Chain A
């Protein structure tokens, strides 16, 4: 038995390159449940994009626990703390079990009939008054593929609006765009097994130990396996990975582009470039070489606030390995020059010729468990099946598959991104907004603005959720939904592994799956195809999956060889899966033929500085013809820099025990107890100057808003402060009871987004810090594990006690 709150990653099972990751089965089941009476239902974890295979334990119709699946290719039996304990949210007493409608300013119980009538009537009215461009949908990265695909067809094919996006916009939109810019289409080139093979790891802006605990366990097992890969980590905070690193570059947040240019400069100067590969398989090297020439180590050191020799050493490590795996996440995606920087990470692997073979790849990581499906289905800002909105053949093909008039598809501009949808709602042209499975009133930037938009009388807001949230408070209709484990469906992780998750229990009360709700909506609205038949032809998730896989035939994300039957018991299968490749595809681009051809590519690319979209003729002129594209970019300073009034650089981020705005993890007692309230991390020297001690209450204020939090004195870079993004204005369990004061990180953030991926900038803002009150010797409510680990003060270690025990079964 291990306390998996205290021991986040569990016991080590070290292994050497190529020897295969040993199995270790982690399990947590409620005390007192007779094991013989438990039924197990195959599924996969939905609390991060690793998508660990797991079984759900059911006793007397109730979810009672989980265990990792030993045979799954992703996790070999392991689960992280969120996976082990997060399922308890399904059972919480405050689940929404009936629809609610606003009457006289209050949300009151209603029947499905009444609620859906209201939604449909209002849809009709907006369609009559505003047309399809008055309608908008904002979904999640946590539904199932079948929910998204139904939504995509209803919104894009049925209603005909381009205003459909997911909260994946905040999460991994940059991953999608960076992959499309460089390789021609979305889709992770490599495989998690590349971790098993690599000799060098580069992690930039990726707090893997906290965001992807099981993946980090895999890395740790390699680091301790006897042939330790060398590790370079870029992060302003002393993350767990940073502590393990050979070189840790604690850069000033917002300067990724300069650093990455500097590293490429060194790779070229040190002649670590695979010239044959670059010549044969890439375009753009000459422009890149000219661009990075302006970034010698001394200049980079000054911009980024690191030592020049560390930049040189990092490049030497990255340039001397034989098998390089690079990964990046929110520290790049939610920062300044997001897509531009993410492309530079791709460049590094391309310059080294390290892609498409074992141990050599770049991971443009995902955050959410089903973000990949939001992207593939077209439920965010792409056309379904990784089709190119500017390519008439792609648009016509989709219209043919959906049997709708091609004119019905809004292909005049890129599909609208979330921040723009909100802007249209603010400006009054969007009058109907359906929020599905996400909490924008906590997760979007500059919350005072977001709240004032959602609260407008003229905007009709429908929210589908399992719980009351800060966003449901602003809704006109709230629809109760089935969670994971209460419906059947599929999802795909960050190395293209597809899992089928079986329905294990019934949803509570009258809650329904998102797909069912959308089918009902489509039927009530009378959406039809061009022959007058019902637009959505499926009734079950399996039928939906079969329609989806046909839609992907021949596209980069080809699911055509998959079926529910094939997925059952398979331990995860990586797309593309075709008749020729029935077992899936471990690595894309093994032949170094990329998806960049004009007729093939998902996107013609962008100018990385402005987001200006290139057109067909530009792509044809560039003529990559299957070669990868090395994109070059100039570093420009962030739009908001610290000044006299706001002297600190803010960054926001995640903690190992929580997920998003805690709607689930806040309802798992072990996780909630480990990180019960917001905190702010600041460096010991900064704290000393401001007279702040561990646990003191401080004010953090930007020019837009403020929050109060207890101070954690940590090893964070001087001049930088960190606030976790999980805490909203509500206390979990009682949404009528506000937390007492503002504590959401997004009270502070700036409304600004990357010009290409449109991902909001949540990791660069200027703030001031002020000490408000003495902490009375009690430490901040921050965990002592991982990045928030305290400095200098005696703070009791985070542990979970008896309720946080997980059994472990080694199968080595």
Chain B
């Protein structure tokens, strides 16, 4: 049984997504919806990790418990300030589009990890783990969908105008 691997993958993908969400939220703080929702969704990643924690013991997965930190540190504050400064520059749009693309991929990486974890949980008949993956499914799927919606708005504006 290699459920430890599936767990480790999911934890890693979720933590990575949280980091990216917070980077985007701060780097593009002048996109106010990204700022607020980015941080909310990053916090939600933290809640997901907490729900997975008990299973790490069960399957002997080695997962760093550092998880997702909530409070903005110095780096975040600098990023936010930077966002305000580049908010009116011509390159901000391209940078935003690039970051949203990466975020979309990270969201799907995480979604796929959860899917695999859920299948494995079913295969080993771990009802509790299966319940967690089912509970989180909607939240896990919506992140990619959200970024996709945002890309639809952003991409034409960035690519079809001269700034």
Residues of A within 8 A of B (CB): 129-131, 133-134, 410, 412-414, 416, 419-420, 423-424, 426-429, 607, 609-614, 636, 639, 751-753, 755
Q: How far is the CB of A339 from chain B (nearest CB, A)?
A: 14
Minimum CB–CB distance from A491 to chain B (whole Å) comes to 30
Q: How far is the CA of A134 from the CA of B156 in the complex (A)?
A: 11
The reply to whether A612 and B93 contact each other, CB–CB distance below 8 Å, is: no
Size range of the interface on B?
A: 20 to 34
Min CB–CB distance B83 → chain A (angstroms): 11
Bound form: Cα–Cα A424–B87 in Å: 10
Seed contacts A130-B162, A412-B152; 9 additional CB < 8 Å A-B pairs: A413-B149, A427-B88, A427-B93, A428-B89, A429-B93, A610-B41, A610-B143, A612-B142, A614-B145
Q: A423 touching B30 by the CB < 8 A rule?
A: yes
Residue of A nearest to B147 (CB): A612
**B36, closest chain A residue (CB):** A639
A636 CA / B36 CA spacing, docked (Å): 12
Closest partner residue, chain B, to A638 (CB atom): B36
30 contacts between A and B (CB under 8 A): A130-B162, A131-B161, A131-B162, A133-B156, A410-B156, A412-B152, A414-B153, A416-B153, A423-B31, A423-B32, A424-B157, A426-B88, A427-B30, A427-B88, A427-B93, A428-B89, A428-B163, A429-B161, A429-B162, A610-B142, A610-B143, A610-B145, A613-B145, A613-B149, A639-B36, A639-B40, A752-B32, A752-B36, A755-B33, A755-B37
Closest to A163 in B: B157
B92 interface contact, C-beta 8 A: yes
When chains A and B are docked, how far (Å) is the Cα of A324 from the Cα of B15? 47
Min CB–CB distance A132 → chain B (angstroms):
8
Q: How far is the CA of A423 from the CA of B33 in the complex (A)?
A: 11
Contact B146 A607 (CB under 8 A): yes
* A350-B33 Cα distance, complex, nearest whole Å: 31
Of all A-B residue pairs in the complex, the 8 with the closest CB atoms, nearest first, are A612-B145, A612-B146, A610-B146, A429-B161, A413-B152, A428-B163, A413-B153, A613-B149
Question: B148 in the interface, Cβ–Cβ < 8 Å?
Answer: yes
Q: How far, in whole Å, are A463 and B39 apart by their CA atoms in the complex?
A: 37
Please state if A427 and B163 are interface contacts (CB–CB under 8 Å). Answer: yes
Q: Are A429 and B146 in contact (CB under 8 A)?
A: no
Alpha-carbon separation in the docked complex, A611 to B149 (Å): 8
Task: Check if B75 is an interface residue, CB within 8 A of chain A.
Answer: no
CB of B20 to closest CB in A, whole Å: 16
Q: Which of A419, A636, A755 has the most CB of B within 10 A?
A: A755
Q: Which chain A residues border B160 with CB–CB below 8 Å? A: 131, 133
Tell me whether A133 and B157 are in contact in the complex, defined as CB-CB below 8 angstroms, given that A426-B88, A752-B36 are known contacts: yes
The complex places the Cα of A752 from the Cα of B40 at a distance, in Å, of 13
Which residues in chain B, 32-57, are within 8 Å of chain A measured between CB atoms? Answer: 32-33, 36-37, 40-41
A636 in contact with B40 (CB, 8 Å): yes
CA distance A610 to B145 in the complex (A): 9
What distance in Å separates the Cβ of A759 from its nearest Cβ neighbour in chain B? 12
List A contacts of B30 (CB < 8 A).
423, 426-427
Residue pair A420, B161 in contact (C-beta under 8 Å): no
B residues less than 8 Å from A420 (CB atoms): 153
Cα separation A424 to B30 with both chains bound (whole Å): 11
A538 to chain B, nearest CB (A): 30
B146: chain A residues at CB < 8 Å are 607, 610-612
Shortest beta-carbon distance from B26 to chain A in Å: 14
Contacts of A427 in B (CB 8 A): 30, 87-88, 92-93, 163
Chain B residues near A614 (CB, 8 Å)? 145
CA gap between A429 and B97 in the complex, in Å: 14
A412, B93: Cβ atoms under 8 Å? no
Task: Choose among A416, A610, A613 the residue with the greatest number of B CB atoms under 10 Å from its CB.
Answer: A610
Q: Which residues of B contact A611 (CB under 8 A)?
A: 33, 37, 146, 149
Q: Would A429 and B41 be within 8 Å (CB), given that A129-B162, A753-B32 are in contact?
A: no
- Which residues of the other chain, A, contact B90 by a CB distance below 8 angstroms? 428
CB distance from A107 to the nearest CB of B (A): 25
B88 contact set on A, CB distance < 8 A: 426-428
Q: Give the residues in chain A near B142, CB-CB below 8 Å.
A: 607, 609-610, 612
Contacts of A129 in B (CB 8 A): 162
Find the A residue at minimum CB distance from B148.
A612
State whether A426 and B87 are in contact (beta carbons under 8 Å apart), knowing that A610-B146, A612-B142 are contacts in the complex: yes
Residue contact A412 to B157, C-beta cutoff 8 Å: no
